[in-house]
Amino acid sequence: MSAIVVESVSKRYEIGRRPEHDTLRDTLSHGAKNLWSRLRRRTTGAAGEDDFWALRDVSFTVEPGEVVGIIGRNGAGKSTLLKILSRITEPTLGRVRLRGRVASLLEVGTGFHPELTGRENIFLNGAILGMSRSEIRRKFDEIIAFAEVDRFLDTPVKRYSSGMYVRLAFAIAAHLEPEILIVDEVLAVGDLEFQKKCVGKMKQVAGGGRTVLFVSHNLAAVQNLCTSAIWLRQGRIAQQSAVRDCIAAYSSEGNRSAAFATTTGSKPRITSVRVNDLALADGALEVEVGFASPFAFAPVVGVILYTKFGQPISGGNGRMAGEHWRPIPTNNGTITARIAALPLHSDTYRVSVWLGDAAMDYDEKRDVAEFDFVARDFRPRAPSTDVIGPIDLPWQWSLSTK
Amino acid sequence: MNHAASEPGVPVELLLEAGRADAHYWRDLWRFRELLGFLAWRDVKVRYKQAVLGAAWALIQPAITLVIFTFVFGRLANMPSGGVPYPLLVLAGLLPWQLFSGAATGASNSIVGNSHLISKVYFPRLVAPLSSLAVALVDFAFVLALFFATALWFGASNPAARIFATPTWHLLALPVFVAFALLLALGAGLWLASLMVKFRDFRFIVPFILQVGAFISPVGFRTDYYPNWRALLALNPLTGIIGGFRWCLLGGDQSLDLLTLAYAVVLTSLLLATGLWYFRKTERRFADII
């Protein structure tokens, strides 16, 4: 008997009405029109123009004890799928069968209240995740040992560092014991040491015969934890297979890498551009630019990083690098531009590349790649990047009174 | 998270489908009673934790309202009190009013106020408005203590008022009227909470309605001296509830207007039933539009 059976699930959002709640005025003024279109839709079943299908005809089954990764770009429908499986929202069409106790973890620290102490939040958050009071009491010592916050148990969590906050939140979630566990992008937070611990804990959960559905941008973690994977693309299943094949297919497809025809022309050309996924999962940006040329030249590559809206954030090229960049003449090769710790918030970013030498411009590929970045540092309740911008500068705060 | 029935080793099946009437809703609600308790406890705790004056806030507002209403209705308008010390009359009406308005406000804001939970975890959404009633109930306990303190003071200092300040066996019926006020507030709160998810305008409408309500409900005056207005006043279910509170709390020969009370029972049942219906109808979409 399968643990999860998803049958032709689709989810429609009405875009015109979804992003912002209605105001009464809008409804009153558009009332007649809305009513008319709604009536029409109901009778004909036709989809309106401003509808958006977050999921389209998705079907799959998961056997008990299987650990399945769900991968795909931002907006591919991963979160919507998890929300349906977690009963937060209903499918528009199709149905889902779940066998066994389900726990879902779509965020670390859901319902944490800043004014309450660590101890109080353990009970509150545990109850929110579906644990009974006696269950929490039984696991209490284990939770605080895992979170390493025993000295701050009676401190309000608003005084916690973001690291402590995440550790406590994850520790509670890690001690859930459901038959089916649904996890969204929660391992990408905290410091490296703690991430290792979390992955270890997840492995233990997965190895314990539990069914796990795991969404992450961190392909290394998916590969590490999962046996099979589902790749979602624009609301549909692009591939469902063993985890290795699925990740390979996903990595080679799409905008994170691009290859170009290598017809030997009269001047140097960019042949490929790739944003390294594994480096991204480590918090680093690596743009690999392949090139080929009919003659030997000393290659210089430029990379410009943009926000998802196409505003430049930062760019660099070999000419700017000074003493650091002295390439030997060559006909072909790959130049890797690297930023070790990318100081950006989690979001989608774009890349343009350029190829030249000390004097000449040879080739450029604008808006050639797009990638999703998940920041290492967890910022509880950080505003959207649309508000605060993409760059995560190391702000420091001080207070002086009088 | 949802715990489907949890006999160990007997996995139950859960079917998720569009527009499916959830057969397990009420059983789920029972299963989530601990969460209900925790949310109520959180709201109460946070309310008193952040305020410097703590519990005093639960008293300051009713105390000021008491002074104003006593002055306006008792002194300026010189309305009849039937011998009951006017502050005591007002306070006995203020108790159910505060309970109602606090509970209705809390329930109305409960879904939008817990939006981060609504969009991240499953629980029967009814848990949110239900748990919000706790704060109103705790505030009520403080004002009730204020009432008894005031009654004690009038009883001791004014021999003529002693009979009115001494509660009778009617006091035993108080829990019934407290529950009555809470159910009415829940009925209104369910409507407003659902509407507020969709129309944030209700954030501004609710305080306004309540402000008007404080004056059209017989908080500052007693109704039994206006027989001509009885039918009109009875259309407000709070008239029956406030009358019931006065009957419970005040001594002397307080009468209970059964017809007005019957009106209140019918109106409250109607509001609660339709409120539940509308809430259940819209709650499945809360996470999509919140």
Q: Is A97 in contact with B122 (Cβ distance < 8 A)?
A: no
Q: Which of residues 184-213 of B touch A (CB under 8 A)?
A: 197-201
Q: Does B52 touch chain A (CB under 8 A)?
A: no
pLDDT on residue A19: 41
How far does A35 lie from chain B, in Å, by closest CA? 16
Alpha-carbon span A263 to A363, nearest angstrom: 14
Per residue in B228-247, pLDDT tens?
888 888 899 999 999 999 99
CATH code at A257-388: 2.70.50.60
Alpha-carbon span A122 to A391, nearest angstrom: 33
The three state secondary structure string of A1-51 is CCCEEEEEEEEEEECCCCCCCECHHHHHHHHHHHHHHHHHHHHHCCCCCCE
- Domain A4-8+56-252 and domain A257-388, same fold? Reply is no
Q: Does A52 touch chain B (CB under 8 A)?
A: no
Q: Does B117 touch chain A (CB under 8 A)?
A: yes
CA-nearest residue of chain B to A23? B199
Per residue in A302-334, pLDDT tens?
999 998 888 889 999 888 887 778 888 998 899
Q: Is B289 in contact with A21 (Cβ distance < 8 A)?
A: yes
pLDDT on residue A46: 46
- Cα atoms found within 13 Å of the Cα of residue A355, Cβ hemisphere only: 26
From first to last of its 402 residues, what are the pLDDT tens digits of chain A? 789 999 999 998 876 544 445 566 666 666 555 555 555 554 444 445 567 888 999 999 999 989 999 988 767 888 899 999 998 998 999 999 999 888 888 887 888 898 899 999 999 999 998 888 999 999 999 999 988 888 999 999 989 887 788 888 888 888 888 888 888 876 656 566 777 777 777 778 777 778 889 888 777 778 888 889 999 988 999 999 999 888 888 877 656 667 776 555 678 889 888 888 778 877 889 999 999 888 889 999 999 999 888 888 999 988 888 777 888 899 889 999 999 989 998 888 889 999 998 888 898 888 888 888 877 766 666 777 888 888 988 889 899 987
A-B contacts at Cβ under 8 angstroms: 133
CA diameter of chain A? 75
Per residue in B22-72, pLDDT tens?
667 888 888 889 999 999 999 998 888 766 676 787 888 889 999 999 999
Which amino acid, one-letter code, is at A232?
Answer: L
| Whole-number Cα distances in Å, B127 to A334, B99, B281 | 59, 19, 15
**Would you kindly state where each structural domain of chain A is located, as residue ranges?**
4-8+56-252, 257-388
**How far is CA B123 from its chain centroid?**
23
- Work out whether the CA dihedral B68, B72, B75, B79 comes out positive or negative: negative
pLDDT on residue A45: 43
**Superfamily covering domain A4-8+56-252:** P-loop containing nucleotide triphosphate hydrolases (3.40.50.300)
How far does B128 lie from chain A, in Å, by closest CA? 12
pLDDT on residue A300: 92
| A91 contacts in chain B (CB < 8 Å) | 16-18
* Positions of chain B with pLDDT under 70: 1-12, 20-23, 50-52, 54
- Work out whether the CA dihedral A89, A95, A98, A99 comes out positive or negative: positive
Interface pTM, i.e. ipTM: 0.83
Q: Is A98 in contact with B1 (Cβ distance < 8 A)?
A: no
Question: Residue A52 forms beta bridges with which residues?
Answer: A13
- Judge if pTM exceeds 0.80: no
Alpha-carbon span A190 to A375, nearest angstrom: 10
How far does B46 lie from chain A, in Å, by closest CA? 7
CA-nearest residue of chain B to A24? B199
**Phi (first) and psi of residue A357, to 5 degrees:** -135, -160
